[in-house]
């Protein structure tokens, strides 16, 4: 299958955006970009350092710039950060470039996947209850995606299969 449009994976931390994105790009024989990695390279600082030194608003500015300025000359699979839809305009940028794919998971799944993470500042700064509220608050924005794929109890391969078959079926 030849990929005609850029694919953007959105979803909460722990949804599997980076792992799925890497394998998806391989399956589609196209490029993969992890937006957080672009930000780290551009700023020369880790995500933790950016949040600690400059705060979340600054991170969101850099995130929007990174999204807007990616190299879109060839079809690319982009793993975005979990907060990408915090800025309303980012959904418009994504839609103008390609397809938004939401990787969904229940709170229980997400919590199990992220509870030992140390490189996610949002998790260091908030209580579990606050992270859970954030998870709930973000669902409405994620669900506006062009394609929603549930990842609970799925391997990375299974999620990639679902996405590829949805694209092939034109869903």
Residue nearest to ligand S3P (CB): 81
How many Cβ atoms sit within 10 Å of the Cβ of residue 59? 22
β-bridge mates for residue 33, sequence order? 78
Return the structure tokens found at 102: 């939401």
Interface map 108-147 toward ligand S3P (x if CB under 6 A): ------------xxx-------------------------
Looking only at the bridges linking them, the beta strands covering 76-79 and 98-104 are unpaired
User: Which of 162, 163, 111 has the alpha carbon at shortest distance from 134?
Assistant: 111
CB of 168 to ligand S3P, least distance (A): 27
- Would you count residue 16 as binding ligand S3P (CB under 6 A)? no
Q: Which of residues 32-51 bind ligand S3P (CB under 6 A)?
A: 36, 47
Which residue from 21, 24, 78, 81 is in contact with ligand S3P, where contact means CB under 6 A? 81
* Chain length of the chain: 171
Helices (H), 35-170: 35-43, 47-54, 56-68, 88-97, 107-114, 121-125, 128-142, 156-168
Which residue from 10, 21, 78, 82 is in contact with ligand S3P, where contact means CB under 6 A? 82
Q: Which helix (H) or strand (E) segment is 104 a member of?
A: strand 98-104
CB of 150 to ligand S3P, least distance (A): 17
CB of 14 to ligand S3P, least distance (A): 7
Which residue from 16, 21, 83, 98 is in contact with ligand S3P, where contact means CB under 6 A? 83
Residues that bind ligand S3P (CB under 6 A): 13, 17, 36, 47, 81-83, 120-122
């Amino acid at each position: 299958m030849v990929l005609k449009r850029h694919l953007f994976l959105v979803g909460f931390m722990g949804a599997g955006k980076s792992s799925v994105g890497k394998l998806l790009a391989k399956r589609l024989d196209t490029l993969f970009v992890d937006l957080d990695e672009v930000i780290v390279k551009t700023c020369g600082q880790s995500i933790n350092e950016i949040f600690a030194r400059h705060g979340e608003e600054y991170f969101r500015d850099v995130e929007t710039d990174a999204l807007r300025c990616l190299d879109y000359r060839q079809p690319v699979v982009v793993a975005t950060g979990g907060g990408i839809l915090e800025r309303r305009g980012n959904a418009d940028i994504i839609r103008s470039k390609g397809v938004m794919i939401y990787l969904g998971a229940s709170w229980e799944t997400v919590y199990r996947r992220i509870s030992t993470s140390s490189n996610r500042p949002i998790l260091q700064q908030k209580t579990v209850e606050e992270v859970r509220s954030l998870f709930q608050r973000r669902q409405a924005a994620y669900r506006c995606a062009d394609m929603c794929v549930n990842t609970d109890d799925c391997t990375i391969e299974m999620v990639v299969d679902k996405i590829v078959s949805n694209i092939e079926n034109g869903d």
